[in-house]
Amino acid sequence: MTLIQLRYLVAIFDAGLNITQAAEHVHATQPGLSKQLKQLEDELGFQLFARKGKSLSAITPAGRQVIERARIILAEARNIRALAANLRGDDKGELTIATTHTQARFVLPHAIVALKQRYPEVDVHLKPLGDAQIMGLFERGQADLALISTTGAAPDEGLSVPLFRWRRVVVVPNGHRLAALQHPLALSDLANETLVSYESSLRAESSLRRAFAAAGIVPRFSCTSRDADLIKTYVRAGLGVGVFADMAFTAEDANDLRLIGGGGLFPECTTWLVLRRDRVLRGYAAALAELIAPQLDQRDLQRALVGEEPEHWPQPPYWSELQAKIAVKRA
């Protein structure tokens, strides 16, 4: 049994039992994989895959167990290499981030630009997804880190670090009758409006719905999306009152959209950086965290990952405060 054999094994499995395709993934030849697989099976003394004629038709139950273990082994081998790369200051690598559209579009850009400036050799892969899918991807180990927002407690998978807090804004097109409201906006003002908001607001447990429910209102959504840009577009098109993250309301939006409230209407949200405890954090990944939320210290992050730190994080600042600081820094 060698690391190479295990690597080939999972490659074959992940390629859907197509050895030729797997060979491309691992930059090797097809007969090479074929032979190594056979050798591994010979050594273990049983079939990892069921054969139908010459081609692989299915994985055996035992094979599945071996692959599970092999994944752990390969992950730890990667960890050792990552450890080494960090130590020798190797600034080359990849960074896969699972997050929501809003974070990817309005929070991450400046941080990633700064990251690429400092680490030109790092390739960043963004995976904008729905909330549930983010953690799914993350748990399957297909992302190095996740950025996710909650109203209350931290996500229960992995190590969660609070980055910043934010609030929802309520937005209408210029000229909308709510734009001329004389008193501060209340939830009751929205009782008869149709709303345009995030897809996640449709879920009964969403904090938005619960806030409305507490006020005795059942909100109507004329249009929902994961994409804050789309939400703004449909607000402009007159489909209703927009409710979305304050990060997504830009200076340009102020030209034709009117921010009519948000402050205390809905519970505040926290955006968390979620890391896998079983994965070594590359230096540039820690740097990204610091670029997003400068109150964090890379070394605290690394220490928390190995469990040396009490893992207690201070209440994070509001996004607007971070935004201001970053603007100052840039000037």
Partner DNA sequence: CGCGTTTACGTCGTTCGTAACGATA
Partner DNA sequence: TATCGTTACGAACGACGTAAACGCG
Rg (CA), the chain: 24
Three-state SS at 2: coil
Picking from 246, 91, 118, 228, the residue whose alpha carbon sits closest to that of residue 170 is: 246
| Residues in CB range of 250: below 8 A, 6 or more apart | 106
Nearest to 13 by CA among 54, 55, 67, 53: 67
- φ/ψ (deg, to 5) at 93: 160, -170
Assigned token pair, 82: 């990552």
Q: Would you say 28 or 74 has its CB closer to DNA? A: 28
Helix 298-305 and helix 283-292: axis angle, to 10°? 120
Q: What is the dihedral of CA 150, 153, 157, 158, to 10 degrees?
A: 100
Q: 120 contacts which partner out of its own copies, DNA, none, CB within 5 to 8 A by kind?
A: none
Helix (H, G, I), strand (E, B) or coil at 168: strand
Choice between 4 and 239, CB closer to its own copies: 4
- Partner from its own copies, DNA, none contacting 218, C-beta within 5 to 8 A by type: none
CB closer to DNA out of 13 and 272: 13
**55 interface partner picked from DNA, its own copies, none, CB below 5 to 8 A per type:** DNA
SS3 87: helix
CB of 286 to its own copies, least distance (A): 16
Minimal distance, residue 122 CB to its own copies, in Å: 18
CB of 23 to DNA, least distance (A): 7
CA-CA-CA-CA dihedral for 83, 88, 93, 96, to nearest 10: 40
Question: Which one of its own copies, DNA, none is in contact with 29 (Cβ closer than 5 to 8 A by kind)?
Answer: DNA
Based on CB atoms, which residue is closest to DNA, 56 or 243? 56
Binding site for DNA (CB under 7 A): 2, 4-5, 17-21, 27-32, 34-39, 51-56
Map tokens 């290499």 to a residue. Answer: 81
CB of 11 to DNA, least distance (A): 12
Instruction: Name which of 77 and 324 has its Cβ closer to its own copies.
Output: 77
Nearer to its own copies, 77 or 202 (CB): 77
77 binds, among its own copies, DNA, none (CB under 5 to 8 A by kind): its own copies
- Applying CB under 8 A, the residues found at the interface with its own copies are 1-3, 43-46, 62, 65-66, 69-70, 72-73, 76-77, 79-81, 83-84, 87-88, 90
Q: Which does 19 bind (CB under 5 to 8 A by kind): DNA, its own copies, none?
A: DNA
